[in-house]
Amino acid sequence: MKPASFEYVRPETLNDAVRALDHDDAKIIAGGQSLVPMMNFRLVQPERLVDINRIEALTPIVQTDSGVRVGALTRHVEAECHPLLKEHFPIISEAMACVAHVAIRNRGTIAGSLCHADPSAEWPLLLIVLNGEIEILGGAGSRMVTPNEFFLAPLMTEIAETELVTGVHFPLPPFSCGMAFEEVSWRAGDFAVVAAAALVSIKRDRFAEVRLALGGVFDTPVRATALEEGLVGQSANLDEIEAVVSLAAKDLEPNDDPHASAGYRLSLVPVLARRVLARALERAAS
């Protein structure tokens, strides 16, 4: 239960970080809340550990022309409490309250969670429902990646080992919109069995835009596109949500695992979909 030996490098600039990552077997440590357990179990034994915690360029949360840019090293607790995020994306605060426990939220980071890519985790789901994009830096420069491109499979992303996430961009949400998040887990702080996040906007009493993202039901978090398409243009009320809610589980084929059977996960989908859509609608209307 102790990590194997590694070379420790602590760059203070992004350039130095990229140089440090130019190595056959380097691994980045940010909050370390998923990585260090895996190192303690020796499931991961990097030759070089690149600690990015002293790179100031990775910390700020700033307003941009199109939305908000959240620095890669933003801790869950900072995202939970940040006024800019609370103002534009109250769903982030709502979801952060479900991330593990106080001590983990004090240390874990947005980029760490995204790169760990657990299909039940909160940040990947938020990224999808908020149409966020991931900013990645490597030797060849900086690039932006959508969640669809980024998440490949459980614990697998398309980022190269020589690259690092520098930030996440969340575009401003549409007008007259409401958002909601909810998950089912066995105990407080456990990974979700199923998690759901919704964003709806209303125009002239009809659903103008509907986004429903689901976690824990597939290899990566997914959008329930059949339900979304069925709801857009309909009258903005609970009856219309009820009419399409069974579509939320369309085409989903979750796996059985020790936490829950596939059947139980599928049965949770319409329940959570109904709750988050109804709450998002209520918030959009008020």
Rule CB under 8 A: which residues touch other proteins?
1-10, 29, 32-33, 36-37, 40-41, 49, 51, 53, 77, 100-104, 106-107, 187-189
In Å, what is the CA distance from 107 to each residue of 31, 74, 76, 120, 244? 5, 9, 7, 19, 40
Choose between 10 and 275: whose C-beta lies nearer to other proteins: 10
Choose between 103 and 140: whose C-beta lies nearer to other proteins: 103
Q: 196 in helix, strand or coil?
A: strand
Choose between 8 and 175: whose C-beta lies nearer to other proteins: 8
Q: How far is the CB of 185 from other proteins (least distance, A)?
A: 11
Choose between 188 and 204: whose C-beta lies nearer to other proteins: 188
Choose between 175 and 186: whose C-beta lies nearer to other proteins: 186
Q: Please give the structure tokens belonging to residue 3.
A: 């990590």
Choose between 80 and 219: whose C-beta lies nearer to other proteins: 80
- 252 class by beta-carbon count within 10 Å (0-12 exposed, 13-18 middle, 19+ buried): middle
Q: How far is the CB of 42 from other proteins (least distance, A)?
A: 11
Residue 132's region, left for phi above 0, alpha for psi from -120 to 50, else beta, is beta
Q: How far is the CB of 13 from other proteins (least distance, A)?
A: 17
Q: 190 in helix, strand or coil?
A: coil
Residue 233's region, left for phi above 0, alpha for psi from -120 to 50, else beta, is left
Q: How far is the CB of 178 from other proteins (least distance, A)?
A: 24
Cβ atoms of 165 and 134 closer than 8 Å: yes
Q: How far is the CB of 253 from other proteins (least distance, A)?
A: 30
CA distance 209 to 178: 10
Cβ atoms of 149 and 158 closer than 8 Å: yes
Q: How far is the CB of 183 from other proteins (least distance, A)?
A: 14
- Give how far the C-alpha of residue 80 lies from the chain's centroid of Cα atoms, to the nearest Å: 13
Backbone angles phi, psi at 90, to 5 degrees: -60, -20
Choose between 1 and 258: whose C-beta lies nearer to other proteins: 1
Q: 262 in helix, strand or coil?
A: helix
Q: How far is the CB of 188 from other proteins (least distance, A)?
A: 4
